């Protein structure tokens, strides 16, 4: 975990601007019900609170599980396993120690991690509260790797895991749970909704989008073309994407970014075309 990654992580978790009713279309009554039963441990009971992306994604996941009939006792246990167990077991500390021990960081970044690790107040109030396998899975979705992550949950045993686009892992998990029924909730459909909200609301570049993606976002939302054609030239064979009126919706643009890995470190050329259209050429 380099210093830049720590900064991006901090920005992602500190930007709390989402409200359950306004942005997620989940009633305050329902949220309060989950709060009272410790299903949303990051909320202060009886207080209206804004959420960051990981917290909002968890509310959407809980809503999905509730809709298919998972009872509150199971939801409470799952929430404690996802949020409280890593805190108590100092998951964040183990991540920091692993990065330091691997000696792949430069001296400055390594010293930065050691200093943070040795400062108990910030570990308790920030990193141990916000770093866990769930938020790590979200970072993987939002990173340049753009892996398709799913929550795998076994209602009978109460166990859960995160699947990073690995079918073999799914089979292994099925064996681990002795053939019990598994529920799989992909992050992408839910996460694209949240990223779409931020794409529309943010007036500055988003840290988890690449430079190319931020430029495409600026063209779409500020120049407002009727059609944006993107040509990606890679390995001698061009690939064409067409972003139409449908994709100009923030949620659709978020899906485009999360499902298409645009090459990093490429040259980008933006050309205005006739009738308010644009063409973007990306060369690796």
Cα separation, 190 vs 195, whole angstroms: 9
Q: Into how many domains does the chain fold?
A: 2
Whether 186 maps to a domain, the answer reads no
- Let me know whether 13 and 138 are in one domain: yes
Whether 228 maps to a domain, the answer reads yes
What DSSP string runs through 41-73? TTSPTTS---B-HHHHHHHHHHHHHHHTT--HH
- Let me know whether 8 and 137 are in one domain: yes
Give the pLDDT of residue 135. Answer: 93
Among the candidates 118, 145, 172, a domain finishes at 145
DSSP conformational letter for 263: P
> What do you get for the CA distance between the two ends of the chain, in Å?
26
Whether 65 maps to a domain, the answer reads yes
The H-assigned helical ranges of the chain are: 3-14, 20-24, 28-36, 53-67, 72-79, 85-88, 91-101, 107-117, 120-122, 128-130, 133-142, 167-176, 187-201, 211-218, 250-259
Domain containing 133 equals 3-145
- Let me know whether 19 and 137 are in one domain: yes
Whether 175 maps to a domain, the answer reads no
- Find the length of the chain: 284
Using CA atoms, how far residue 68 sits from 83, 94, 158, 187, in Å, is 22, 35, 15, 17
- Let me know whether 101 and 231 are in one domain: no
Cα separation, 168 vs 114, whole angstroms: 36
Give the pLDDT of residue 241. Answer: 74
- Let me know whether 138 and 249 are in one domain: no
Among the candidates 126, 145, 164, a domain finishes at 145
Whether 75 maps to a domain, the answer reads yes
Whether 158 maps to a domain, the answer reads no
Q: What is the pLDDT along the chain (284 residues), one digit of tens a residue?
A: 566 666 666 666 667 888 888 889 999 899 999 999 999 998 877 677 789 899 999 999 999 999 999 999 999 999 999 999 999 999 999 999 998 998 888 888 889 889 999 999 999 998 999 899 999 999 888 876 778 899 999 999 999 989 886 555 566 666 666 667 889 899 999 998 998 888 888 878 887 888 888 888 887 777 777 777 777 776 667 777 776 665 567 887 888 888 877 766 667 787 887 777 777 777 76
- Let me know whether 132 and 9 are in one domain: yes
Whether 100 maps to a domain, the answer reads yes
- Let me know whether 137 and 222 are in one domain: no
- Output the six-digit token pair for 253: 């643009």
CB 253 within 8 A of CB 199: yes
Among the candidates 145, 177, 198, a domain finishes at 145
- Let me know whether 9 and 134 are in one domain: yes
- Output the six-digit token pair for 120: 């108990």
- Let me know whether 138 and 55 are in one domain: yes
pTM: 0.84
Torsions phi, psi for 6 (to 5 deg): -60, -40
- Let me know whether 220 and 94 are in one domain: no
């Amino acid at each position: 975990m380099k210093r830049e990654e720590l900064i991006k992580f901090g920005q992602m978790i500190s930007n709390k601007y989402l409200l359950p009713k306004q942005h997620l279309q989940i009633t305050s009554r329902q949220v309060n019900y989950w709060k009272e039963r410790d299903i949303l441990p990051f909320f202060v009971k009886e207080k209206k609170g804004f959420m960051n992306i990981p917290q909002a994604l968890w509310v959407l996941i809980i809503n999905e599980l509730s809709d298919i009939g998972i009872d509150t006792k199971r939801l409470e246990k799952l929430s404690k396993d996802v949020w409280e167990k890593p805190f108590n077991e100092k998951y964040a500390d183990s991540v920091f120690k692993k990065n330091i021990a691997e000696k792949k960081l430069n001296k400055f970044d390594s010293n930065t991690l050691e200093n943070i690790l040795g400062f108990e107040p910030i570990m308790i109030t920030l990193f141990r509260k916000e770093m866990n396998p769930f938020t790590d899975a979200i970072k993987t979705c939002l990173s340049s790797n753009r892996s398709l992550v799913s929550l795998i949950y076994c209602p009978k045993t109460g166990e859960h895991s995160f699947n990073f686009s690995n079918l073999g892992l799914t089979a292994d998990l099925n064996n681990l749970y002795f053939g019990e029924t598994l529920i799989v909730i992909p992050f992408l459909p839910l996460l694209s909704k949240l990223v779409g909200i931020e794409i529309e609301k943010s007036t500055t570049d988003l840290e988890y989008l690449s430079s190319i993606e931020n430029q495409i976002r600026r063209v779409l939302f500020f120049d407002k073309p009727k059609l944006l054609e993107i040509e990606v030239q890679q390995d001698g064979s061009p690939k064409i994407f067409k972003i139409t009126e449908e994709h100009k919706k923030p949620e659709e643009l978020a899906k485009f970014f999360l499902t298409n890995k645009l090459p990093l470190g490429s040259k980008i050329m933006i050309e205005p075309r006739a009738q308010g259209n644009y063409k973007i050429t990306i060369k690796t």
